[in-house]
Amino acid sequence: MNPTWVIAKRELNEYFDTLVAYILLIAFLGLTGFFTWLIGADIFIRKQVDLMVFFEVAQLTLLLFIPAITMRQFAEEKRTGTIELLLTKNVTNRQVVIGKFLSCILMICIALAFTIPYYISVTQLGNIDHGATTAGYVGLILMSCAYISIGLFASSTTNNQIVAFLISLFLCLLFHFLFDMIASGFTGMLGEFFSMLSISGHFDSISRGVVDSKDLIYFASIIILGLFLAEYNISKR
């Protein structure tokens, strides 16, 4: 079997063994379900057949949960020394990083798969824009990939899980809100530059149903940069 996949499978199993996966699933589905169907500007109040509320809440929930699932990846292995055992096996640093990335994104995909019943329920209520909804899911997955690679980079910088969590939470907040806020303070080139860095802007443009190459390049470059830096950090020892 491909070592990347062996690592991904082990990490994914570990989420389920240590209950992290169950807590994450329950909290994610609880929060998104609650706001989509029961309270605030839910579907019945807005009287629109779409999953806009769900996408809004899912973005914020993932913003919190992704640092929590990525913080362990390298920090814990460094603290216990298992990284030494792992890297002296027949794998390259890159395979280790990509394996861990895959396990995290699979975890998020499992959580998102459980929300498909929301989609099915909403289609029963009226005519839903299938394209926009699919694009919304694609946007969520791309955003998750970006945050996971940021989280893996943060985890590779330290051997303390809490420090890793705080670094990745800060970086995710920066990309999600702060760049937007900074952008509104500037005009012209600088403002455009900061709003271009903001993840939520790119997410919105994808979730409108248009998958632009500009957005794809943006997400791809964050993912590649994050994973590259994580790989660099673990190769330096």
Partner 1 sequence: MLYFLVVPLNYIFAPKPKKPHLELNPHSLPEAILLIIMDIKIQNLTKTYGAQKAVDDISFEVKTGEILGFLGPNGAGKTTTMKVITGYIEGDNGNVTIGGNSVNNSATKGYIGYLPEHNPLYLEMPVIDYLGFCASIQGMEKSLVPGRIREMVKVCGLNAEKHKKIGELSKGYRQRVGLAQAMIHDPEVLILDEPTTGLDPNQIVEIRELIKNIGQEKTVILSTHILPEVEATCDRILIINKGKIVADGTAATLRKQAQGKQVLHVRIEDADVNTVFGKLQNLPTVALVDILDAPMNRFEIQSTQDTFSNREIFDLCVKNKWALTELIPFETRLEDIFRDLTLN
Would you tell me which residues interact with partner 1 (CB under 8 A)?
1-7, 9-10, 12-14, 16-18, 80-82, 84-85, 87-92, 106, 109-110, 113, 237
The span from the CA of 7 to the CA of 91, in Å, is 10
Q: Tell me the closest approach of the beta carbon of residue 74 to partner 1, in angstroms.
A: 14
Q: Tell me the closest approach of the beta carbon of residue 195 to partner 1, in angstroms.
A: 36
Smaller CB distance to partner 1: residue 88 or 187?
Answer: 88
* CA proximity to 230, closest of 71, 1, 60: 71
The span from the CA of 140 to the CA of 35, in Å, is 17
Q: Tell me the closest approach of the beta carbon of residue 73 to partner 1, in angstroms.
A: 13
Smaller CB distance to partner 1: residue 91 or 182?
Answer: 91
Q: How many CB atoms lie within 10 A of CB 79?
A: 14
Smaller CB distance to partner 1: residue 76 or 180?
Answer: 76
Q: Tell me the closest approach of the beta carbon of residue 107 to partner 1, in angstroms.
A: 10
Rounded to 5, what percent of the chain is helix, strand, coil?
Answer: 85, 0, 15
Interior angle at CA 137, CA 45 and CA 203, nearest 5: 85
Smaller CB distance to partner 1: residue 105 or 122?
Answer: 105
